[in-house]
């Protein structure tokens, strides 16, 4: 089996940061425009901002778990007994 490139893991971690920022900003923008539309300032802004932050954390933990799983699969193999 071919070893995994460290660049792949670095790329995955780099996208996590970008995804976190985009999810947070997108949530804030949606909340801002919904507040202007319905006149509920600042409640929908705060709610959507929290949803954006939660989505960013969810993606962070999803990628970390996938990298951990991949590392365990590629770990050193033990010789078979017998």
Handedness of CA 75, 76, 81, 82 (dihedral sign): positive
Q: How many CA atoms lie within 13 A of 12 on its CB side?
A: 17
pLDDT digits (tens, 9 = 90+) for 42-52: 999 999 999 99
In whole angstroms, what separates CA 38 from the centre of its chain? 30
Q: Is the pLDDT of residue 36 over 60?
A: yes
If you ran DSSP here, which 8-state letter would residue 71 be given? H
Predicted TM-score (pTM) of the model is: 0.77
* Distance in angstroms (rounded) separating the CA atoms of residues 47 and 32: 10
Using 50, 70 and 90 to split pLDDT, how confident is the model at 57?
Answer: very high
Per domain, the residue ranges of the chain are: 13-69
Comparison of pLDDT for 30 and 1, the residue scoring more: 30
């Amino acid at each position: 089996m071919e070893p995994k490139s460290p660049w792949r893991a670095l790329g995955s971690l780099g996208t996590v940061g970008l995804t976190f920022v985009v999810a947070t900003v997108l949530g804030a923008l949606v909340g801002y425009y919904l507040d202007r539309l319905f006149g509920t300032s600042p409640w929908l802004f705060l709610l959507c901002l929290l949803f954006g932050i939660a989505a960013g954390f969810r993606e962070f933990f999803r990628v970390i778990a996938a990298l951990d799983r991949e590392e365990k699969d590629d770990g050193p193999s033990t010789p078979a007994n017998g």
